[in-house]
Structure formats: structure tokens, C-alpha cells
Amino acid sequence: LGLPRDDGRSGKFVRVAFVWLAISLLMLLALPAYQAISGKAFSHAYFGATRHAVTVGFVSMMIMGIAARVVPSLNGRSMAGLSSLLGPFVMINIGCLLRVTLQVATDFNSLAFAAVGISSILELVGIVWWACDLVPHLLRTRDEIQDAVLVPLTVLESKFIKSPPKA
């Protein structure tokens, strides 16, 4: 089967989403060991970190990757001239990594609480940056979309369908 074709825009989001899903599942599997090491029967911080890996890491990255490909495509845009979204991708992943690791670290050192806020700023800026790239595709007028679809159809029609001879 192989991996899906990477357009340089959305594939990295989808691939890393599955990495975050695996991280969250490994964290759940490691829970008994974590409880033994930390001496806590229940850790809100650890469960919160696991949930963050699933929600931001897996769900959000998957949504962002699929939307980055589907929204421009549905509006008749070619992927060729679009940005790679590398900036938002890096910011959100660094933010998620910081959040997951620092939240677990709060069980051992309260100073980690101060740094957790940085992760949310990185994630927020990354999501806004990503949204600013997608919004223009969502705001295209119906005429712009229709022109984007009709022009290629007219070109195809002129090449493959012969017009009836003029009388």
C-alpha cells in the first residue's frame, strides 16, 4: 500500500498526528511504571499530558492536515502555489511537546508550572498562523470558485469535443 503522496503541505501533519497518537498510547501503557516512580496513585498532570497528546497532538494535527489539503482543493486551487505551512507545523509540535513533558514534570518540580504557559502561546500562534493561511480559501466568492472550475472545463471541452460545423 505505501504512504500517501506527500504534497509538501498536509502530509507532515497527518504523519505526525499518528506519532502523537502512539505517544499517548505509550504513555497510557507506561502509567503503572509512572505511578511506581512518582509514588502517586493518581496524577492529574500525567493524565492531562496524555489527553493533550491525543487532542492537540493527534486530533488537531489530523484536522489541520486534512483541511490544509481539502479546503484549497474544493475551491479549485492547485497545491503547487500554496505555502508549505512549515511554520505553524513546527510551532504547534514544539508547543505540544513542551506541554506534554512539562505537565508531567509538574509532578516532580513546581517550577515547571511557570514554563507550561509558553507551550500554549506557541500552539495558539501556530493555529492562528495556520488559520490565516486557510481563511482566504474559505472566503473566495462563488464566482471565483465557478471560474476556477469552468475555465479548465472549457479548455478540456475545446480540446476533446468537436464543435458542430457551422452552416
Q: What is the pLDDT along the chain (167 residues), one digit of tens a residue?
A: 455 566 678 999 999 999 999 999 999 999 999 999 999 999 999 999 999 999 999 999 999 999 998 888 877 777 777 889 999 999 999 999 999 999 999 999 999 999 999 999 999 999 999 999 988 888 875 566 555 555 555 555 555 555 556 66
Cell 494535527 locates to: 61
4-31: b (≥16 Cβ within 10 Å) or e: eeebebbbbbbebbeebbebbeebeeee
In whole angstroms, how large is the CA radius of gyration of the chain?
23
CA 90 vs CA 78, 97, 148, 155: distances in Å: 24, 10, 32, 40
Q: pTM for this one?
A: 0.78
85 and 128 Cβ atoms separated by less than 8 Å: no
Q: How far apart are the first and last CA of the chain?
A: 55
Q: Mark out the alpha helices in the chain (DSSP H runs).
A: 11-29, 31-38, 44-52, 61-74, 86-105, 112-138, 142-160
Contacts of 149 (CB under 8 A, 6+ apart): 76
- What pLDDT, on a 0 to 100 scale, did the predictor assign at position 41? 92
Cα–Cα distance between 49 and 61 in angstroms, integer?
16
